[in-house]
Structure 1
């Protein structure tokens, strides 16, 4: 992509102001206050921001960046800890005003505000149309009155599009699969300004690549996703003293083991998901479990009792509640505006040696940090590896390594210089190294920094096809939402 003669920022601002209201174009020093990413360590700042309200606005912004030769990035939920949503000196496509969620196939009338519902019969049941800037909270709050839930993550302020397109792990994963497995179509603004709908019949290669390859092919301005009748679940927290961590995790491994006989009640049910991790609490360092039962409510007590029996709980809060409320409850653990350095590893199994290293990592964990482990099981494993760009289809665990501190003045580079965040970021990297010997190649791109060398293995046998789709739809490399193999 070649830049025209002249100042690219001035050209972009001029083009934007010709077609957008003046208050939707932000340039110069004002951009620093106009963008507040989730991670305070994200220091890069765009030169110009286009506050988009419609797909046409997005198209205008993409073409302006192209004409001016400016780097382009897209801001949805803003939770990319590495700052991939903001490119220094570039043009930022801000989707935060595009948060409408339309529920179809439900029995209710219109809802108030930015969320609306309407009755539209669909052959496959209920679904939602989700604008590109909507958060997990927007989606769950919209679908709850209709009795539905979506395949979402565990923190409500995360952007729904970014979560979904990058894979989409969540507490209903055993029943519903990944977010990408529930995606029905996507409206995309391409680098050349074309607006296309990608689904199994239209732009099928693009649809395949979006499901795991993320926003590397265009700006996704709307998604259609399946909904499921799980607005309420039995869920909560059961925590054990850290001294019990090793034995509880070995018990967790037995509890979640797949059975040869799927009707054997002694083994895992797809409807039971049990996240676990390490967390500092007023009661001290704990090994927490977060069980979610989305099956027959009459069986909830017996399922939760199996988790409680893993040890002697020191904290417990489990009950029947709205999935939306359960996800909202996690927000306070990871608030916007703190400083974060994140890492991750994908483990195929939880071996005794991996458990030992996990416990050692918890022993060394600073008080503001945490470990959180998702368990991919059930429906995830019944999708072919090449059905979507997301390659991890065998049962596995995603270990999120969450470094956090409150002083935003440090760089968190973990280089041992004693600055703010050095201990926390250093612990993240040490924990990654502890788990390397037990990890799968590659990793979850949503938790990778842009320069993470593991991107080379993140898509496995899907890499060649993914890069071919990238070359076709974005030959000049305008979109860099997630790390891709080079």
Structure 2
């Protein structure tokens, strides 16, 4: 199988008329009012002009959109929340299937599961499940799309306690390249179900996900921050402390510049800091003991408090709105030797903007109880997923953001496991995609041959 050529066809008037007669969703062409808003993705560094944006209302619209791309030979991009760093929810001159109108969430509280449509965002899920004291492991920003995050793996505040998002995926409804709709689960299309759990959007359009839910209502969470001059001390403590901590304790290490807004105290505004954003999901009365070792290090800011889980999930939304410039680099990390600690401290002290950051997401605990080949997500031996993000609203700073992120990554990469979380890499070449899947790549390729032999679904971190 060879890679499908990009934008080889054309959207003729006849093809457009045929599609209009098949869909209920809104169609946007380049000359239409609202087209620029419809084509926009989260990362403003990405500025592509598709030939058509179809805002799908239902599965029938998805089937029609897939057929249009297949019949015309145009590129096909599928957009959930649009958060993808390299902008793989859009394409130049092709067709974008925007699933945003398909955002329904149905919760079965007795069965502790939820059926979530492919265009929903995690804030939609948290809103629906929190009413029943339940949650599904996801990310850390509520505006992230359910589809993209899930298909890459899914990690965030609940990973150590309840595993990755894909570890809680029970079934998926998928529109395939031939236009058929199948349900993939452990008994039906098990090879496809395996591939969807970490293999990205390579195999079809997922129109609905069925998730297992867990009892999560009020958590004890929030940030603790220390001056960046203490970064090496804090990171050495964190790397030793967290892997041995109770699995109810989640916490990602980060570098930040304190935003000059409430509730941060004025004396910390615009200060470079290092810290940990905590989430304790166990009994509230045990949180103080679990967090006592961190408090013994006397943080300059202690924002940890009881809160509804959706409140923690939305804590970064205002800081990281859509429309900013983003450049990501990422790696999986097994251990953090002292040499790497010093490099983190050096680069963390040079954050270029208030929104730029480095996060180390823990992916041990419950995530380690699934084997390396049990799902397409291979890095079950990793302890952290690192992401370095250069972010700012000003396009004039794009080169600076890229240089800082790439320089930081160049320094740390020799201490990594070699591959990265596919949801957090840019367009970095096929070797990086292979490294992200390691021994699972060949099996993913076999599933690709079976379900998408012509590589219709190639606007992604592509399994070629």
Distance in 2 separating the partners of 1:56 and 1:232:
39
Q: Deviations over 1:425-464 (max 9, x none)?
A: 1000001101111011221111112343411211111111
Q: C-alpha offsets along residues 55-76 of structure 1, whole Å, 9 cap, x if unaligned? A: 1110011011111111101111
2:27: which partner in 1? 25
Task: Indicate which of 53, 58, 62 corresponds to 2:57.
Answer: 53
Instruction: Give the aligned partner of residue 358 of structure 2.
Output: 371
Kindly report which structure 2 residues correspond to 1:56-75, keeping only aligned pairs within 5 A, or say none.
56-75=60-79
Distance 1:480 1:277 in 2: 33
Q: 2:448–2:463: 8 Å Cα contact kept in structure 1?
A: no
Contact 1:233–1:322 (Cα < 8 Å) also in 2? yes
**Which residue number corresponds to residue 134 of structure 1?**
120
Contact kept in structure 1, 2:382 and 2:417, CA below 8 Å: no
Give me the whole-angstrom Cα distance separating, in 1, the residues matched to 2:338 and 2:15: 56
With 340-349 and 448-457 compared, the bigger mean Cα shift is at 448-457
What's 1:276 paired with? 253
Partners of 1:447 and 1:4 lie apart in 2 by 25
Residue 91 in 1 paired to residue 95 in 2? Answer: yes
TM-score scaled by structure 2?
0.93
Could you tell which deviates more after superposition, 447-456 or 373-382?
A: 447-456
CA contact (8 A) 1:213 1:482 kept: no
Cα displacement (A) at 1:3? 11
Instruction: State whether residues 451 and 483 of structure 1, in contact with CA within 8 Å, keep that contact through their aligned partners in structure 2.
Output: no
1:196-275 pair list within 5 angstroms: 196-258=182-244, 268-275=245-252
- Residues 305 and 462 from structure 1, CA distance in 2 versus in 1: closer, same or farther, beyond 3 angstroms? same
Q: CA deviation at 1:315?
A: 1.0
Specify whether residues 226 and 478 from structure 1 end up closer, same or farther in structure 2 by C-alpha distance, changes over 3 A only: same
Post-superposition shift, 1:172? 0.9
Deviations 1:95-127 (A, max 9, x none): 0100000001x2xxxxxxxxxxxxxx5xxx310
Where does residue 476 of structure 1 map in the other structure?
454
The separation in 2 between residues aligned to 1:378 and 1:166, in whole angstroms, is 19
Deviation string 1:257-314 (CA, Å, 9 cap, x unpaired) is 43xxxxxxxxx111111211100115211111111111121101111222222x2211
In structure 2, distance between residues paired with 1:9 and 1:374: 47
2:371 paired with 1:384:
yes
CA–CA separation in structure 2 for the residues paired with 1:382 and 1:6:
46
Work out which of the residue numbers 37, 41, 48 in structure 1 matches 2:41. 37
Q: Name the counterpart of 1:442.
A: 419
In 2, Cα distance between the equivalents of 1:11 and 1:334?
A: 42
Greater relative contact order structure (CA < 8 Å, 6+ sep): 2
Deviations 1:169-200 (A, max 9, x none): 01111111001100000000000000000001
CA–CA distance in 1 between the matches of 2:5 and 2:15? 14
1:219-272 per-position Cα deviation (integer Å, ceiling 9, x unaligned): 0000000110112211011101111111111111221243xxxxxxxxx11111
How far residue 485 of structure 1 moved from its aligned partner, in angstroms, is 5.1
Q: Report if aligned partners of 2:328, 2:389 keep a CA contact under 8 Å in 1.
A: yes
Distance 2:404 2:145 in 1: 27
| Structure 1 SS opposite 2:188 | coil
SS of structure 2 residue aligned to 1:212 = coil
Distance 1:2 1:393, change over 3 A: closer
- Identify unmatched segments of 5+ residues in structure 1: 107-120, 259-267, 411-419
Match of 1:458 in 2: 436
- The aligned runs of 1:420-439 (5 Å cut-off) are 420-439=397-416
Q: Does 1:302 align with 2:280?
A: no
Matched residue count: 447
